[in-house]
Amino acid sequence: MIWKKLANLILKNRLTILSFVLALSVFMGFEASKVKLTYNAGKILPVTDSAYIRYTQFRKLFGEDATAMVLGIKSPNLFRQDFFNDWYRLGDHIRHIKGITGVVSLANVYKLQKDTAEHRFVLKPLITDTATSQQAVDSVKAQVYQMPFYKGLILSGDKQSSLMAVSFDTKILNTPRRDQVIAAILAAIKPFEARQHLTVHVSGQPYIRTVVSKLVSHEFVLFLGLSLGITAFILLIFFRSFYPVLFPVIVVIFGVVWSLGLLVLKGYNITLLTGIIPPLIVIIGIPNSIFLLNKYYHEFALTGDKMQALHTVIEKVGITTFIANVTTAIGFGVLCFTNSQILTEFGLIASVSIMLTFALTLILIPIIFSYLPAPGKSQSGIKDRRFMQVLLVKVDHFVHHQRKLIYTGVIVLLIISGYGVSKINVNSYIVDDLPKKSSTLTDLRFFESNFKGVLPLELSIDSRRKNGLMNLGMIHKVERLENMISAYPEFSRSISLTQVLKYSTQAFYGGDSTYYRLPNSMEQNFILSYAANSGKSNNMLRNYLDSTKQITRVSFQMVDVGSKKLNVIFDQLRPRIDSIFNPAKYHVELTGSSVIFVKGANYMVKNLYESLSLAIVLIALVMWILFRGIRMIAISILPNLIPLVITAGLMGYLGIALKPSTILIFSIAMGISSDQTIYFLTRYRNELRTTTKSISQIISDTIRETGISMIYIATILFFGFGVFAASTFGGTVALGILLSVTLLVAMICNLTLLPAFLLTAEKYIDKRKLRGPLPDTAAQDI
């Protein structure tokens, strides 16, 4: 009754509703025009998570931990006058770019010196202009070699590679201005490369995030265009007419605009995940139009009355497509319960946009086609195409006569897949999704092999008392901890308070490198007092010691070895850290953006398991509302769970790691594949209630009538999601390919295993117990 009233409302107020929708679409389009790319990594952990809270506190004390872009070179001519001067000029040019706060390199190095008049240490540049002779460069070289503080930081162990660290102003770090600054740096690098005939390797978190942002922007347009093109082509094959291609495409474009408008209204930006929502809307939204139009053409062929046919479309097809879209939205919506900002944004916008696109389709398609010419005879002939009829007859015969083979085949596949599942590797990399041949990855490997990486790892040490760090015993504890961590091949040597104090001791003794050590008990009062005075104006101390001298930071660089290995290392480090710093007296925290990424990856994988479970429960609840009975729930859920197991097994055999981007596949696929189960079972139950045919005959009719729509929809989904294989991000490629395969397997299961289950359960079905109104389905008329 509700859907009949809705049909009356839409068709009797066509112009008013159309005008309202168009006006609202203009508003959403205006909002969509404000959409922006994200310039930060996004909050993976919930803001209430203890690790995230401590990381936030760390940043308040010491600032951002990933503010440096690094340039690396490898050459035997590092200290040749012309090369050295060219490297100096490059650093000096970059230092004057607006938005850059500092540059440190071999040619822009700073020396710590003792100021006896002020009883403090001061940092002074080793050189202030280009070297006038080779002897001057050799003098710089000798001094750099006498500064252990810079060993492994700006000069590699083999002295063939050098690094330039470029620090960004934190005010522009996560804004569009960052792109302009990086573009200016890259422009300055090119002439240097040409003059010196070498490659300057570029990396660091600001640069990596900029590369990712640009790729997201490019792929946003690419995938939207590909998804529209492929679905339009399939629609043309399906309907062989212009209008059924043009207007469904226009409607899903409206859906895309609304999704982007919603993104802006919620204050979200385009991320790696939200960037794929527009093509998802196209791929998932087009099937709604197919069901509506096919029912329209079928009804018009029966009645010859255009308005009556459209009224029937809304009344009969609306509820089925509504329920199907609800299950699809559930697959995305459960991500909102992860409490991860990046997943919540994706899940919320995707699920709401799916329902909005359904509403737009249900409203606009009948209104638009009510003003178009009546359909021709060729547009209702889809169900008569010989190839499809022959294929479905064979499927029907197979289901009725080879059920044991179907069950045996499924069991064998599950056993094989189960072994594959046992081989799945749960692992994430910080630069996981970049293409393997990306120059960004190549550059990162350069820094990993020469400088043990550029990804930040931070250690926060809280002495839990004011001035608790300004005594030699505490400082030696910090040194022991640093040495222990630096012994791991995955981590670089540290930059810390102890290194500054060692450098201070060296400076106290006139720069003699043999004094690069912590001060002894005789020296400590002098050197610590000098260091304390230096803290008022010296960034080297201020960056590694808070104002109360209670908390210090120790900074490392690390190799991107993956979350799996880092979890093992972090588990090993915890008891070793506690053995040096008693947890009852001190608080030591591994933190920094790299640690937050690893903890975030762990959190997302754990919560996505829970999201999948929640999706299954919610979809099972929908199935219970529709079909009632535990047996029918099992029959409807199993054909959609089996493809997930097969896909998981495939991931194990192909070595595709389980990580946040790939585990999304399962809840999304569960929601989408359930649509086909609903189309099949509603057609089956409707016949079961209204005819005296045998169950065997009803299943045969259902296979032949709904099978065509299921195959066409699966074709759209397969090729639609397949466009993501064109991505440069490994996670997006895996998402697209695995979703395509999963949904194809789900269609096969719903066409074979589902009816086989129904035939097996035939003796348990009692028509007299069927109750409640069941929705009609468009699929029955294809």
Judge if 191 and 80 occupy the same domain. yes
Interval 443-463: pLDDT, tens: 988 998 988 888 888 999 999
**Residue 189, in any domain of the structure:** yes
728 has a pLDDT exceeding 90: no
778 has a pLDDT exceeding 50: no
Evaluated on CA atoms 61, 66, 69, 74, the torsion sign reads positive
pTM of the model: 0.80
607 has a pLDDT exceeding 80: no
Q: Do 513 and 148 form a contact (C-beta atoms < 8 A)?
A: yes
Q: Do 485 and 556 form a contact (C-beta atoms < 8 A)?
A: yes
Report the pLDDT value the prediction gives residue 768, as an integer from 0 to 100.
Answer: 47
Report the pLDDT value the prediction gives residue 335, as an integer from 0 to 100.
Answer: 84
776 has a pLDDT exceeding 60: no
Judge if 296 and 155 occupy the same domain. no
Report the pLDDT value the prediction gives residue 382, as an integer from 0 to 100.
Answer: 52
404 has a pLDDT exceeding 80: yes
Return the top range by mean pLDDT from 57-71, 175-189, 681-695: 175-189
Task: Pick the range with the lowest mean pLDDT from 23-37, 492-506, 537-551, 587-601.
Answer: 537-551
- Adjacent-strand bridge partners of 458: 555, 591
Report the pLDDT value the prediction gives residue 385, as an integer from 0 to 100.
Answer: 62
Interval 636-652: pLDDT, tens: 888 888 998 998 898 89
Q: Do 146 and 513 form a contact (C-beta atoms < 8 A)?
A: yes
Judge if 570 and 646 occupy the same domain. no
Report the pLDDT value the prediction gives residue 378, as an integer from 0 to 100.
Answer: 57
In angstroms, the CA 220 to CA 141 distance is 49
Q: Which residues contact 3 (CB under 8 A, 6 or more apart)?
A: 314, 315, 316, 318, 319
Report the pLDDT value the prediction gives residue 197, as an integer from 0 to 100.
Answer: 92
Kindly indicate the confidence band of residue 377, based on its pLDDT and cuts at 50, 70 and 90: low
- Rounded to an integer, the average pLDDT of 394-411 is 91
Report the pLDDT value the prediction gives residue 412, as an integer from 0 to 100.
Answer: 94
Per the structure, the count of domains in the chain is 3
Q: How many CB atoms lie within 10 A of CB 638?
A: 15
Interval 528-568: pLDDT, tens: 777 666 654 444 567 788 888 899 999 998 888 888 888 89
766 has a pLDDT exceeding 60: no
Judge if 766 and 638 occupy the same domain. yes
Q: Which of 203, 232, 249 is the last residue of a domain?
A: 203
718 has a pLDDT exceeding 80: yes
Q: How many CB atoms lie within 10 A of CB 6?
A: 16
Judge if 269 and 354 occupy the same domain. yes
Q: Do 40 and 269 form a contact (C-beta atoms < 8 A)?
A: no
**Residue 580, in any domain of the structure:** yes
**Residue 442, in any domain of the structure:** no
Q: Which of 150, 178, 203 is the last residue of a domain?
A: 203
In angstroms, the CA 119 to CA 139 distance is 28
Q: How many CB atoms lie within 10 A of CB 43?
A: 18
Report the pLDDT value the prediction gives residue 187, as an integer from 0 to 100.
Answer: 94
Interval 414-438: pLDDT, tens: 999 999 999 988 888 877 667 777 7
Q: Do 33 and 263 form a contact (C-beta atoms < 8 A)?
A: no
Judge if 549 and 575 occupy the same domain. yes
Express the helix, strand and coil content of the chain in percent, nearest 5 each.
70, 10, 25
Q: Single out the residue of 181, 206, 213 nearest to residue 593, CA to CA.
A: 206
279 has a pLDDT exceeding 60: yes
**Residue 275, in any domain of the structure:** yes
Report the pLDDT value the prediction gives residue 534, as an integer from 0 to 100.
Answer: 61
In angstroms, the CA 190 to CA 50 distance is 44
723 has a pLDDT exceeding 70: yes
The pair of structure tokens assigned to 320 is 């089925």
Judge if 357 and 478 occupy the same domain. no
User: Backbone dihedral region of 452: left (phi > 0), alpha (psi from -120 to 50 degrees) or beta?
Assistant: left
**Residue 768, in any domain of the structure:** yes
Kindly indicate the confidence band of residue 614, based on its pLDDT and cuts at 50, 70 and 90: confident
**Residue 46, in any domain of the structure:** no
Interval 565-580: pLDDT, tens: 888 999 999 999 999 9
Judge if 362 and 232 occupy the same domain. yes
Kindly indicate the confidence band of residue 588, based on its pLDDT and cuts at 50, 70 and 90: very high
**Residue 215, in any domain of the structure:** yes
Q: Supply the CATH number for residue 581's domain.
A: 3.30.70
Cβ-in-10-Å burial (0-12, 13-18, 19+) of 666 comes to buried
Judge if 192 and 223 occupy the same domain. no
Judge if 316 and 454 occupy the same domain. no
- Rounded to an integer, the average pLDDT of 231-260 is 89
Report the pLDDT value the prediction gives residue 782, as an integer from 0 to 100.
Answer: 42
- Rounded to an integer, the average pLDDT of 70-98 is 93
| Percent of the chain residues past pLDDT 70, beyond the cut | 93
Kindly indicate the confidence band of residue 763, based on its pLDDT and cuts at 50, 70 and 90: low
- Rounded to an integer, the average pLDDT of 62-74 is 84
Judge if 575 and 602 occupy the same domain. no
**Residue 650, in any domain of the structure:** yes
Q: Which of 545, 565, 591 is the last residue of a domain?
A: 591
256 has a pLDDT exceeding 70: yes
User: Backbone dihedral region of 304: left (phi > 0), alpha (psi from -120 to 50 degrees) or beta?
Assistant: left
- Rounded to an integer, the average pLDDT of 179-190 is 93
Judge if 736 and 655 occupy the same domain. yes
Domain that residue 263 falls in: 2-39+210-422+598-781
Q: Supply the CATH number for residue 379's domain.
A: 1.20.1640.10
